[in-house]
Chains A and B, each alone.
Chain A
Amino acid sequence: MAESTLTKPRGAWRIRLEPRLEEPSTALSIGVSVGAVVVALILGGIVIAAVGGNPFVSYVYIARASFGSLGVLSDTIVKATPIILTALACSIAFRMKLWNIGAEGQFIMGAWGASAIVLAPVLPAETSRWLFIPVMTLAGLGMGAAWGFIPGYLKAKFDVNEIISSLMLNYIAVSWVNFWIFGVWTEGGFQMSPKFPKGAELPRLSDFASSIPFFRGLTTHAGLLFGIAAAVVLWFIVYRSRWGYEIRLIGDNPQAARYAGINIVRNTVLVMALSGALAGVGGMSEVAGVVRRLQTAPIAAGYGFTGIIVAWLAKLNPLVIIPVSILFGALILAGREIQPSGIPKMIQGIILVCLIASDFLLRYRIRIVKVGEE
């Protein structure tokens, strides 16, 4: 690239790009990411202003409605919980350059699997929480894993593009859940199942308010523990285990991985199933901790797609995913009351565009130089 403008006269200023040879420092990469988000918020603000809104009012509103008090902070964490799990799901697949964009469908199927335990019913309604929750978790995990396994297997066996197949399975999952809540488990003809019995609910902080009054009205539920535990385990798998090393090597350099004798086919299937399992647990946590019945709209709310952005913003690091998810939880929570209603989705999209564009700054050093003085 450096030679391309040699014909310019001496003394003219021009921009020169130098590839960075060393890994960019942590501070730089954090700075660039934060800068990208700021630019995205400015661009989003311009669009909000263009449709007649006031971006400052909108943003201040988002901050107040999501972090302004202990109660809303708790609600923000509730919104962040499913995002943590879907973002973890995306991060492990993306790490291997497997583009699982079906976390949405895997999340939905996880919710369905957990609900089936209650509604089929596999376990009677008076079952103790200590049995209900583990079985529901396993069911959600299993259904999510199955839904992730399908595109993984098709990719490994038939070289089917996992982007398209995992995305198509999202739509199929929505229809599948609709069939069950309309046709089989409907509550009086409405598009939802009956409410779950007490034992099938993940406990909330407010459930302990009788002994600890401080928790009164706080909605944060035990699903958050799933998210944190999964993040820690995933961090150890990715950075401290032999399997994680294989996954990273395949992602960075599949050729070298193949020469090293790593089984790419098996890892493709396993990682997609693990990714689906994480999203599936997210679905279970949402249905047992928040919705407490099977219903399409609150389950298929786009958490799988938000997970993609969060995973990318967190640079696929499982532990960084937790705080980033909380920020996006805030955006989604407060965004529900902002008009026009598409604003949170638009801002999320613009953030991802700015992030992917900003990666350029991490790969190249930009210098402004005088021609002939190099």
Chain B
Amino acid sequence: MDPIVILQAGVATGTVLLFATLGEVLAERSGVLNLGVEGMMLIGAMTAFSVTIATGNPWIGMFAAMIVSGLLSQIHAFIAVTLQADQVVSGLALTLVGTGISLVLGEGLSKAGTVSLMPSFSVPLLSEIPILGPIFFAKQSVLVYIGYLMVPLAWYYINHTRPGLHLRAVGEYPAAADALGINVFRLRYAYVLAGGMLAGLGGATISLAVSPGWFSELTTGGQGWIAVGLVIFAQWDPVRAAVGSYAFGALRRLILDIQAPLTLFGVNNPFYYNPYLGFFLQMLPYAFTVIVLVVGSREAIRKRLGAPAALGEPYIRGERGK
């Protein structure tokens, strides 16, 4: 129950959510709601793990996961962008397909034993900083550091670059973007692809770093859905997405650690003496997601913030008012 340890592990666990959430922020900013995150993460985790077994190199596993999840995301892009179908059902279908294919191809992987994982290291100097050093920069996986870099990059890209402006235009007012010569369809495909690759990276982060291995559907355990919820909480902003992801990571770790000590705040630890109370702890991340959504929606209403205006709407050329 050392708070530093919980936060340190929380940052690592939260990196999974961070990648998936950032990916979904990009897709949704372009106007495409992709509910297939859970399926893409699962297939990413499975691919990363099995390719690493086959090649012995976790980096190849990681890139393979990104490619496979990216390919899967293009099914959704085709249905949502080209066929203009309902994005909710299509995303749901993608999750089912991703889950099913991962289960079929991942058969037997759970008994595969150990593989070489993504390297972990401490950052010199930075890890010496009191409190923050051990939490953020000591013995973290290289993926965690990649996550740190990605947040400011994504924020700068979306808010302060020309392609980022195009991205926002396509998500807010695709007809205007089209009139300016921006290829709405191509950009939406591209950002759904980016979202899929990041979801795959999130999956790889699970199976190659945070909780190594393949545990069928329990590998992700709904984290893809939590990521979709976090995007709303984050109000489509990468920095808020990072805060939410790390907080959820810490919560997941706290749930594990709180069951270990004999006493808690000077009294007998009820979770130690009645292990089945742990089921209530297991509910917490999911219950928190709902609470966070309630808080986030109220805030959004108060500040008049909203989703990208064209989110979930297919863009049809020549149709008025779109």
Contact = CB atoms under 8 A, between A and B. Distances in A.
Chain A: interface size category: 35 or more
Interface stretch (A122-130, A236-244, A268-276, A336-344): A336-344
Contacts of A341: 103, 107
Contacts of A348: 96, 100
A355 B94 CA distance: 12
A182 B279 contact: yes
B88 to A, nearest CB: 5
A342 B100 contact: yes
B286 A342 contact: no
15 contacts: A51-B104, A158-B297, A163-B88, A164-B228, A164-B290, A175-B282, A175-B283, A179-B277, A340-B104, A345-B96, A346-B104, A353-B75, A353-B94, A357-B79, A357-B83
Interface of A: 1, 4, 47-48, 51, 99, 101, 154, 158-161, 163-165, 167-169, 171-172, 175-176, 178-179, 182-183, 305, 308-309, 312, 339-343, 345-350, 352-353, 355-357, 359-360, 363
A360 B84 contact: yes
Contacts of A158: 294, 297-298
A316 B40 CA distance: 27
Given A359-B85, A360-B85, A340 B103 contact: yes
A171 B286 CA distance: 7
Interface in B214-254: 216, 221-222, 225-226, 228-229, 232
A256 B237 CA distance: 34
B97 interface: yes
Contacts of A47: 101, 104
Contact of B107 (A176, A179, A308, A342): A342
A101 B88 CA distance: 10
Contacts of A349: 39, 93-101
B294 A154 contact: yes
Contacts of A167: 222, 225
B290 A1 contact: no
A164 B100 contact: no
Contacts of B92: 101, 308, 352
A48 B107 CA distance: 12
Contacts of A176: 279, 283
A47 B286 CA distance: 33
Nearest to A353: B93
Nearest to B295: A158
Nearest to B38: A167
Contacts, number: 151
B73 interface: no
Contacts of B276: 178-179, 182-183
Interface residues of B, number: 55
A83 B79 CA distance: 26
A178 B279 CA distance: 7
Nearest to B107: A340
A353 B228 CA distance: 20
Q: Which 8 A-B pairs have the closest CB atoms?
A: A342-B103, A346-B100, A349-B96, A183-B276, A349-B97, A340-B107, A352-B93, A179-B279
B89 interface: yes
Contacts of B229: 161, 164, 168
Interface in B94-120: 94-108
B103 A172 contact: no
Nearest to A359: B85
Contact of A309 (B96, B105, B107, B297): B96
A175 B222 CA distance: 13
Nearest to A357: B79
A4, A101, A159, A167 interface centre (most CB from chain B within 10 Å): A167
Given A352-B93, A353-B75, A172 B286 contact: yes
Contacts of A175: 279-280, 282-283
A99 B228 contact: no
B267 interface: no
Contact of B274 (A164, A172, A183, A345): A183
B301 A339 contact: no
Contacts of A171: 221-222, 282-283, 286
Nearest to B301: A159
A182 B275 CA distance: 9
A172 B83 contact: no
Contacts of B35: 163
B140 interface: no
Contacts of A154: 290, 293-294
Contact of A339 (B101, B107, B226, B287): B107
Contacts of B86: 356, 359
A346 B103 contact: yes
Given A183-B276, A341-B103, 4 more contacts: A164-B229, A168-B287, A339-B107, A346-B103
Nearest to A184: B276
Contacts of A99: 88
Contacts of B221: 171
B289 interface: yes
B84 to A, nearest CB: 7
